[in-house]
Amino acid sequence: MDSQMMTGNLAAAWGVRLADVDYIPAFPITPQTEIVEALAKWCEGGELAARFVTMDSEHSMMTAAGAAEATGARVFTATSSQGLLYAFEVLYSVSGWRAPLVLVNVSRALAAPITLESDHNDVLAARDSGFLQIHAETCQEVLDSILMAYRIAEDERVMLPVIVNLDGFSLSFTREPVSLPDPEQVQKFLPPFRPAHLGFKASAPHALGVAVLGGTPYAYFRHQQHLASINALEVHREAAASFEQLFGRRYDLVEGYRLDDAEDVLVITNASASAGKAAVDAAREEGKRVGLLRLRMIRPWPADAIRGALRGRRAVAVLDQNLAPGQGGILFQEIAASLYHEAERPRALCSFIGGLGGQNLSVGEFRAIFEQTAKAGVSGKGIGPVLLYTQAEHREMTQLQMVAAGTQRANGL
Amino acid sequence: MWQRETFKKIKQIPGEEHVLPGTALCAGCGGLESLRLAAKVLGDDVIYVNAAGCFTMLAAYPYTSFKGSWLYTTMGSAPAGAQGVRDALDVLIAKGRLPKSENLKVVVLGGDGSSYDMALSSTSGAMNRGLDFYYFCYDNEAYGNTGMQLSPATPYGARTATSPCSLQHPSGASQEKKDLFEIWRAHKPPYIATVAPRYPLDLEEKFARAAAFPGPKMFLALAACPTGWLYDPAETPEVAKLAVETGLWPLKEAINGVVTHTYIPKRKPVESYLTLQGRFRHLFEPTVQTDTIQHIQARVDAYWVRATREGT
């Protein structure tokens, strides 16, 4: 197998190239831009037989992407952060059209304050949009997930669009060894896109996205979307088995790490899972029985897999790299809801908020999470949301505030 | 002198209908009449890409008014939807996955509320990219589907639900109608035209001429609106006629940016048009707002002086 060092962004581009897409409407935004730059080059050079169009906004980009997919082309597009939110209403249109395109979101925190680095408030805002969501930890997984995403999206039982998420900077700009799948093997895994129920043509006109009058037809089509999304759990299982057979790599809805005898479990997503795994290893060396559960598929929500992994644990900590102000962590709420009817549910659930806007997750913070979670497990009383902020961060912020105040005085304000 | 080449007599307008009767739109809709006439040239091998507006009701599950296809997008991005459909058709035909005989004309349908403001970015982008499509803006000079609120297409002096006449604003709308024709023209699309439903030969001729131009073909259609302009639906032809005959709605085209007026009205006084419509009634009752009416007349006169001087 041909393995080479590449960034998460380039791995995403390679996934798109191997998926042999037909059409790529694009709009630049940091930290996603490297993906569409690579694709533009390949479309121009003939390595990829797709049409590449730079649109006037993400709103237009997403509309063009969905419309092309609805016409019968295999479509890819990518964005981040503000771009995803600018396209937001169209996400619901595209899933309503049942247009199975793939969108890569390179996670970046939302303004204000405006910033470039990662957290998951962008992608999780789209959790109710009807898009499926796969969140990747490594560059290899980014590439592989794009191939799996097309196969799942285009399955007749699903026919829904997919977001593949990777973290900005920590994954998008990080080089890791990536094994490039053989294109012929990819063709076996991902058959050509020949949708039976999509496409506009003269001989078979049809109307899509039409108005409905009243709740009866509206609810019918919405229910269809929900049921199709749930189907994706089974379709993912099939795709994962086929993928493992062809490429030797296995991806499940969730990934357990050192869970077998773990008393306490840390739930985490995306690239920070790598740091979380290292923290688990370190804690294990100190004799603590901790493990990690990485959520890979966020939509549809793999409730059974989550319950299976968390039942019987002493305590569970959810580290959310997002913040719903006035509520707390988004994934914590969903985990808690999934465990409510579990007879052997953990004695305590703890909610931690960290890694916002590229904020570092230190060894000390993971240690504190494990300690506080163990304590909660013993007392049977959950904690949180705990807003992680270290003394070092506090010192740095205090210095910045002093600089800001000093500048104001110098300006005579 | 501009002359029609294809459509010289009313008999030459095809009898076959492509917008089927029994729509959910208002009786006497001038926009629908413009579209009905346009579709006689466009035919059935069409996909209409729609933005939110009155025409969204033309395809309401499980019915559609068209023998062609339809895609509802959003209020702001129908031209981007047209881009996606056009590009996908081209790619699929080029790759041999779709026979050429299955090809479609791509037609954006947007009202003035969409076209004049929210969709300007996506329209500008589509024109800039030279997208091969038709843009059909049905302009009823207000947000009609939501009950007639002020839009940037609302003319000075019109009363809408959000530009009521009051002591502070006795004229109603105090802003001038945005000049979308010129905004479009700045993008240099190969073909732009204004049309009105009461001038069917002019309208048909323009759609026939536009077909020869690859790229953006932009149409601004007068959508005389009994519901919003407050007149009897039976009077739509008369209202549409007077919009043109007073000079308020110039019939013109621009081929590669060169403007030609396709009909030179003798210019009846604007009062003849204004008095027909409830949205201007406050200009005449309880007192006549002479200044406002003169302002409207002066704007029209200035337009035509300029147009005549420039010999267009």
The CATH number for A97's domain is: 3.40.50.970
Residue A344 belongs to a domain with what CATH number? Answer: 3.40.50.920
Same-domain check for residues A220 and A262:
no
Nearest chain B CA: its distance from A193 CA (Å): 10
Quote the CA–CA distance of B31 and B137 in Å, as a whole number: 9
Q: Where are the alpha helices (DSSP H) in A46-132?
A: 58-71, 81-86, 88-96, 121-125
A-B contacts at Cβ under 8 angstroms? 163
Same-domain check for residues A234 and A302:
no
Same-domain check for residues A221 and A268:
no
> For residue A406, what pLDDT band results from cuts at 50, 70 and 90?
confident
Q: What is the pLDDT of residues A362-378, one digit of tens each?
A: 999 999 999 999 999 99
Q: What is the pLDDT of residues A164-183, one digit of tens each?
A: 999 999 999 999 999 999 99
Quote the CA–CA distance of A167 and A182 in Å, as a whole number: 26
Same-domain check for residues A111 and A220:
yes
Same-domain check for residues A229 and A276:
no
Nearest CA in chain A to B44: A202
Q: What is the pLDDT of residues A245-293, one digit of tens each?
A: 999 999 999 999 999 999 999 999 999 999 999 999 999 999 999 999 9
* E strand or H helix at A24: strand A23-26
Domain boundary residue among A215, A247, A279?
Answer: A247
Question: Looking at the domain assignment, is residue A399 inside a domain?
Answer: no
Does position A1 have pLDDT exceeding 60, yes or no? no
- Show Cβ contacts of residue B175 under 8 Å, excluding neighbours closer than 6 positions: B152, B154, B156
Question: Looking at the domain assignment, is residue A292 inside a domain?
Answer: yes
A36-57 as b/e: b if 16+ CB within 10 A = bebbbebbeeeebebbbbebbb
Cβ–Cβ contact A66 with B under 8 A: yes
Residues facing B163 on adjacent strands: B160
Among B46, B44, B45, smallest CA distance to B16 is for: B44
Among A162, A105, A396, smallest CA distance to A300 is for: A162
Same-domain check for residues A22 and A85:
yes
**Between A50, A70, A73, which is nearest B71 by CB?**
A70
Same-domain check for residues A219 and A317:
no
% of chain A at pLDDT higher than 70: 98
Query: Is B84's CB within 8 Å of A57's CB?
Result: no
Question: Looking at the domain assignment, is residue A349 inside a domain?
Answer: yes
Question: Looking at the domain assignment, is residue A95 inside a domain?
Answer: yes
**Between B70, B84, B104, which is nearest A66 by CB?**
B84
Quote the CA–CA distance of B181 and B244 in Å, as a whole number: 16
Q: How many helices, marked H, and strands, marked E, lie in chain A?
A: 14, 16
Question: Looking at the domain assignment, is residue A321 inside a domain?
Answer: yes
Among A131, A141, A137, smallest CA distance to A107 is for: A137
Residues in B 19-58 with any Cβ partner in A closer than 8 A? 44-45, 47, 49, 56-57
Domain topology for B10-309: Rossmann fold (3.40.50)
Among B81, B101, B276, smallest CA distance to A25 is for: B81
The mean pLDDT value of chain A amounts to: 97
CA distances from B152 to B55, B113, B142, B157, B176 (A): 19, 7, 8, 13, 8
- Average of per-residue pLDDT across A235-254: 98
Strands A162-167, A102-107: pairing kind: parallel
Query: Is A93's CB within 8 Å of B91's CB?
Result: no
Q: Is the dihedral of CA B232, B237, B238, B239 positive or negative?
A: positive
Residues in B 93-122 with any Cβ partner in A closer than 8 A? 95, 97-98, 101-104, 121-122
B207 C-beta neighbours (distance < 10 Å), count: 23
What integer pLDDT is reported at residue B171 of this predicted model?
94
Q: What is the pLDDT of residues A193-209, one digit of tens each?
A: 999 999 999 999 999 99
Question: Looking at the domain assignment, is residue A277 inside a domain?
Answer: yes
Low-confidence ranges of chain B (pLDDT < 50): none
Cβ–Cβ contact A216 with B under 8 A: no
Same-domain check for residues A242 and A304:
no
Same-domain check for residues A211 and A109:
yes
Question: Looking at the domain assignment, is residue A81 inside a domain?
Answer: yes
Q: Is the pTM of this model over 0.90?
A: yes
Same-domain check for residues A278 and A326:
yes
CA distances from A376 to A311, A362, A370, B261 (A): 16, 21, 10, 80
Q: Is A390 left (phi over 0), alpha (psi -120 to 50) or beta?
A: beta
Query: Is A90's CB within 8 Å of B84's CB?
Result: no
Domain ranges, residue A10: 2-247
Nearest CA in chain B to A207: B70
Nearest chain B CA: its distance from A189 CA (Å): 21
Same-domain check for residues A307 and A204:
no
Interface test with chain B among A58, A61, A210, A220, by most B beta carbons within 10 Å: A210
- Show Cβ contacts of residue A371 under 8 Å, excluding neighbours closer than 6 positions: none
Q: What is the pLDDT of residues A78-110, one digit of tens each?
A: 999 999 999 999 999 999 999 999 999 999 999
Q: What is the pLDDT of residues A52-62, one digit of tens each?
A: 999 999 999 99
Query: Is B74's CB within 8 Å of A71's CB?
Result: no
Quote the CA–CA distance of B72 and B79 in Å, as a whole number: 11
Q: What is the pLDDT of residues A112-151, one digit of tens each?
A: 999 999 999 999 999 999 999 999 999 999 999 999 999 9
Angle CA A164–A167–A170, to nearest 5: 145
What integer pLDDT is reported at residue A411 of this predicted model?
57
Domain boundary residue among A200, A228, A247?
Answer: A247
Nearest chain A CA: its distance from B123 CA (Å): 9
Specify the residue for token string 């208002």: B26
- State ipTM: 0.97
Question: Tokens standing for B242?
Answer: 């007077």
Where are chain B's structural domains?
10-309
Identify the DSSP state of A316.
E
What integer pLDDT is reported at residue A408 of this predicted model?
53
What is the greatest pairwise CA distance in chain A?
A: 73
Query: Is A202's CB within 8 Å of B66's CB?
Result: no
Question: Tokens standing for B141?
Answer: 């000079």
Cβ–Cβ contact B133 with A under 8 A: no
Do B219 and B206 contact (CB within 8 A), yes or no?
yes
Count up the domains in chain A and report the number: 2
- Average of per-residue pLDDT across A30-42: 98
Same-domain check for residues A262 and A199:
no
**Between A53, A71, A93, which is nearest B89 by CB?**
A71
**Between A73, A93, A210, which is nearest B59 by CB?**
A210
